[in-house]
């Protein structure tokens, strides 16, 4: 069979991971009134996707697909375009982070990659604020508080991703994948 960059299984798996992100975003609310808390599951799933499909661009594709879905489902506050871009950037950020840090199963690497991915999403919001012409001081002040939340939950998401990968390895999930092309 013709060799492709992503096999069909990998492509479908990444698409379904994107759906999982959207479901996690909709179906679960942590009782935390802090910006970016949904990033825990979000970044965790992206980190897991990047390891389960160990190819550059896997996290970005999950980010893009989940962004398209979220925009269609009316998630996010700043409209479809912002939703699409911020979800996509979370994936691209995680991919870039893992390009440097490499191992998503390492707790520290996963936390940094999660944090970086989540920060990229934050940057999209910031750019949108700036593009709208809102006063710089106000934007910085308003988003500075959110920034802390994004960093913390991005890192926790990365940690959850690494813990999930460790548990999946122990549970024999990668043996299950061994048979599939």
Restricted to residues 128-147, the positions that interact with other proteins (CB under 8 A) are 128, 131-135, 138
Rounded least distance, CB 26 to other proteins, Å: 5
Residue 44 exposed, middle or buried by CB count within 10 Å (0-12, 13-18, 19+):
buried
Q: Which of 43, 45, 46, 113 binds other proteins (CB under 8 A)?
A: 45
| Footprint of other proteins on 75-94 (CB under 8 A) | 75, 77-82, 84
Q: How far is the C-alpha of 44 from the C-alpha of 36, rounded, in Å?
A: 13
Check residue 54 for interaction with other proteins (CB under 8 A): no
Neighbours of 34 (CB within 10 A): 13
Which is closer to other proteins, CB of 22 or CB of 120?
22
DSSP output for 35-93: TTTTHHHHHHHHHHHHHHS-STTHHHHHHHHHHHHHHHTT-SSSHHHHHHHHHHHHHHH
Taking contact as CB under 8 A, which single stretch among the options 9-17, 86-94, 95-103, 114-122 is the one that binds other proteins?
Answer: 9-17
Q: Which of 35, 38, 65, 86 binds other proteins (CB under 8 A)?
A: 65
């Amino acid at each position: 069979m013709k060799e492709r960059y992503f096999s069909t299984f990998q492509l479908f798996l990444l698409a379904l991971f994107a759906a999982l992100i959207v479901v996690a975003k909709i179906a679960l609310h942590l009782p935390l009134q802090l910006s970016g808390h949904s990033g825990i599951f979000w970044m965790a799933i992206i980190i897991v996707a990047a390891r389960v499909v160990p190819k550059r661009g896997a996290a970005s594709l999950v980010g893009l697909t989940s962004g398209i879905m979220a925009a269609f489902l009316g998630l996010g506050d700043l409209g479809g375009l912002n939703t699409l871009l911020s979800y996509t950037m979370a994936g691209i950020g995680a991919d870039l982070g893992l390009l440097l840090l490499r191992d998503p199963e390492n707790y520290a690497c996963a936390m940094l990659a999660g944090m970086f991915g989540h920060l990229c999403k934050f940057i999209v919001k910031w750019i949108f604020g700036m593009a709208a012409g809102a006063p710089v001081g106000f934007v910085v002040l308003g988003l500075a508080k959110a920034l802390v939340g994004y960093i913390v939950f991005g890192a926790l998401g990365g940690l959850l991703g690494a813990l999930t990968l460790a548990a999946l390895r122990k549970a024999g999930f990668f043996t299950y994948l061994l048979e599939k092309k």
